[in-house]
């Protein structure tokens, strides 16, 4: 039994993954898409798609993260994943996840626009409140969460969300002394004007080891935005906590850190402060990239590895049916990447800025679509499923947060 495939309006269809990719030719793509629409229609393939039916079940001041080099022991070719327990169930369209230093997890609901605290000992859920101005539609809504670098003193929670006019980042005080539902302060918008669309809204945010805010955005199906350094669409942005372009950014007084991205969905740093990002491809290849300040990652002229030296190649790539990647985390010498359409957790062992071994897949089809993975310390990860986002096939208990033990 196959999962339901969600069909979304778009101007480019995925091609046969066996056909090598060249530069996108919009006129030819339009003609091909029109022909396909007479039969089955365009495949969404990004934040959704068909799959097999599952079985229910340290900071460093202002230093810029390192971009190259190798240190430490290269992880073994084969790792392992053990599901330790289900932390909580019955979440609605969960997307962002932020571990609290005092214990517990904050999780955002994309479609409901709420933030909920999950007690990791009991699984109890307490709604903090709603984020005003969230306008959920398609892949937009309340997306990534991050805690302030000074959370211990300011109790600020940052959120990336879609409004009626744009995507933006705001911060709110979290006061757990107030009644449930009233624990979020009024949002203070720190950055706005990121292009919005039905799809490709990006949404992942994270504070790096330099205490600066990194923001992954999408090109909203307007491919030209990815190469336009004056646009914030199809980029990774680097900001101060107040939302200003970070000092030392590669293009002067610009928030842009890297460009040529289609739809950045995951951000994580390794122990050497190197930044990694996952990205949706279109026709053939999804990507895991090592991010270097100022580099061009190729979209829309390159998807996956390219023969053109002006573009920064991914260190690993997957056919779109195997991944449609979302969140990533670093643990035990590897990047761990959650797959939506692929319905599996990928492990990419690292050797500096290269993949030490071929990627390895775990949990294939067992928990359905996987949205977010976050390091939980040592050999532990938090993993969030994504069956209730309109693209999945929800079963009893969906959606859930799992605790994993990995090697």
Q: Please list the pLDDT of the chain residue by residue as tens digits (407 residues).
A: 333 333 333 333 333 333 333 333 334 344 443 333 333 333 344 676 544 434 443 333 334 555 556 556 899 999 999 999 999 999 999 999 999 999 999 999 999 999 999 999 999 999 999 999 999 999 999 999 999 999 999 999 999 999 999 999 999 999 999 999 999 999 999 999 999 999 999 999 999 999 999 999 999 999 999 999 999 999 999 999 999 999 999 999 999 999 999 999 999 999 999 999 999 999 899 999 999 999 999 999 999 999 999 999 999 999 999 999 999 999 999 999 999 999 999 999 999 999 999 999 999 999 999 999 999 999 999 999 999 999 999 999 999 999 999 99
Per the listing, tokens 């609901």 go with 109
Question: Please, which residues bridge with residue 248 across strands?
Answer: none
Residue 283, pLDDT score? 84
Nearest to 384 by CA among 398, 370, 366: 370
Residue 12, pLDDT score? 36
Order of strands across the sheet that contains 256-258: 205-207, 213-216, 236-239, 256-258
Condensed to tens digits (0 to 9), the pLDDT of residues 108-144 reads 999 999 999 999 999 999 999 999 999 999 999 999 9
Cis peptide before 300 (omega within 30 of 0): yes
Residue 47, pLDDT score? 73
Residue 57, pLDDT score? 38
Residues whose CB falls within 8 Å of the CB of residue 155, separated by 6 or more in sequence, listed in order: 148, 173, 174, 175
3-state secondary structure of 320: helix
- CA pair distance 76, 137, nearest whole angstrom: 42
């Amino acid at each position: 039994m196959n999962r339901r495939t969600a069909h979304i309006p778009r101007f480019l269809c995925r091609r046969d993954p066996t056909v090598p990719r060249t530069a996108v030719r919009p006129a030819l793509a339009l003609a091909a898409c029109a022909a396909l629409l007479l039969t089955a229609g365009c495949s969404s393939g990004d934040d959704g798609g068909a799959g097999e039916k599952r079985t229910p079940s340290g900071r460093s001041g202002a230093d810029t993260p390192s971009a190259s080099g190798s240190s430490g022991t290269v992880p073994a070719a084969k790792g392992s994943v053990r599901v330790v327990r289900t932390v909580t169930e019955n979440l609605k369209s969960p997307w962002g996840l932020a571990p609290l230093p005092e214990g517990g997890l904050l999780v955002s609901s994309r479609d409901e626009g709420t933030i909920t605290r999950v007690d990791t000992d009991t699984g109890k859920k307490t709604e903090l409140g709603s984020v005003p101005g969230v306008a959920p539609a398609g892949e937009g809504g309340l997306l990534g969460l991050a805690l302030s670098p000074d959370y211990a003193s300011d109790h600020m929670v940052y959120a990336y969300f879609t409004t009626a006019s744009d995507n933006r980042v705001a911060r709110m005080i979290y006061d757990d002394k107030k009644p449930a539902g009233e624990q979020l302060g009024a949002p203070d918008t720190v950055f706005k004007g990121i292009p919005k669309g039905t799809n490709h809204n990006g949404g992942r945010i994270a504070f790096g080891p330099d205490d600066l805010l990194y923001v992954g955005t999408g090109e909203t199906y307007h491919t030209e935005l990815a190469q336009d350094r004056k646009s914030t669409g199809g980029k990774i942005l680097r900001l101060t906590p107040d939302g200003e372009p970070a000092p030392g950014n590669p293009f002067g007084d610009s928030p842009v850190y890297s460009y040529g991205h289609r739809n950045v969905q995951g951000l994580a740093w390794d122990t050497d402060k190197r930044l990694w990002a996952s990205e949706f491809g279109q026709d053939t290849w999804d990507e895991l990239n090592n991010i270097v300040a100022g580099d061009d990652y190729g979209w829309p002229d390159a998807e996956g590895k390219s023969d053109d030296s002006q573009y920064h190649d991914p260190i690993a790539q997957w056919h779109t049916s195997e991944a449609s990647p979302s969140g990533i985390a670093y643990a035990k010498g590897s990047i761990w990447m959650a797959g939506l359409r692929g319905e599996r957790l990928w492990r990419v062992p690292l050797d500096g800025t290269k993949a030490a071994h071929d990627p390895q897949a775990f949990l294939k089809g067992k928990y359905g679509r996987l949205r977010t993975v976050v390091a939980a310390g040592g050999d532990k990860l938090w993993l969030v499923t994504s069956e209730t986002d309109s693209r999945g096939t929800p079963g009893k208990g969906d959606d859930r947060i799992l605790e994993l033990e990995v090697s």
